[in-house]
A and B are shown apart, each in its own frame.
Chain A
Amino acid sequence: DTAVSQTPKYLVTQMGNDKSIKCEQNLGHDTMYWYKQDSKKFLKIMFSYNNKELIINETVPNRFSPKSPDKAHLNLHINSLELGDSAVYFCASSQDPSGRSLGMKTQYFGPGTRLLVL
């Protein structure tokens, strides 16, 4: 069974559209994250949620809105997609009661969602 899964795996869409990426983890973890990996392979954290509460919110356009319906799910909704949003988006999870102990808790990553905006 996949520990951290993401859907879809590939997403090709037009500029201006609204799209969502879903993430689910079956590890029983309480903290989940979204990362963006750009074309130069730089991986940057976007958000982290702990027990459905937003903990980390990096400098991300407000077109990006994470939603955590429960501890096992963290979805990412993107409004008015732009060309620069093209990237690979990774979801991750960890068992981290504080939601901020990135240094102490191993993060488990999903396979990524490859988003291409045309």
Chain B
Amino acid sequence: AQSVTQPDIHITVSEGASLELRCNYSYGATPYLFWYVQSPGQGLQLLLKYFSGDTLVQGIKGFEAEFKRSQSSFNLRKPSVHWSDAAEYFCAVGARAGGTSYGKLTFGQGTILTVHP
């Protein structure tokens, strides 16, 4: 079964600083990979996703993520953080066709981002 680890529970950055949120996954093949953001009291919004092809994926709100097969990682980055980026970020992995996990998303436990002015 697939699993997702987000090593950082809470990250604090200053506005304008760069950001990298870590995500490591465990899966027997190349998975589908996602990053979602959850603002307080809100549902999850998809930031970006990776299926295949170019390992650097661009998303909304200026975010990007890079799939590194050798490291089983899919880290989320943003060159300059805005105060409105403060939220909780979830990495998720989806199993490809075949097997009992097909069609299911597995989420990491989330990373809370605090942005200081």
What is the number of residues of chain B that contact chain A, defined by CB distance less than 8 Å?
A: 24
Q: Please, which residue of chain B has its CB at the minimum distance from the CB of A110?
A: B43
Known contacts A41-B88, A56-B103, A102-B94; is A109 also within 8 Å of B32 by CB? no
Q: Is A75 an interface residue (CB 8 A)?
A: no
Q: Closest CB-CB distance, B88 to chain A, in whole Å?
A: 7
Q: For the complex, is B96 an interface residue (Cβ under 8 Å from A)?
A: yes
1/0 contact string of B78-105 vs chain A (CB within 8 Å): 0000000000101010111000001111
Judge whether A112 and B43 touch: CB under 8 Å.
Answer: yes
User: Interface on chain B toward A: helix, strand, loop, or mixed SS?
Assistant: strand
Q: Check if A66 is an interface residue, CB within 8 A of chain B.
A: no
The residues in A between 1 and 43 inclusive whose CB is less than 8 angstroms from any CB of B are: 4, 40-43
Residues of B within 8 A of A45 (CB): 104-105
Contact B105 A102 (CB under 8 A): yes
In contact, A103 and B109 (Cβ under 8 angstroms): no
User: Which of B44, B103, B106 interacts with A90 by CB under 8 Å?
Assistant: B44
Chain A residues closer than 8 Å to B94, beta-carbon distance: 102-103
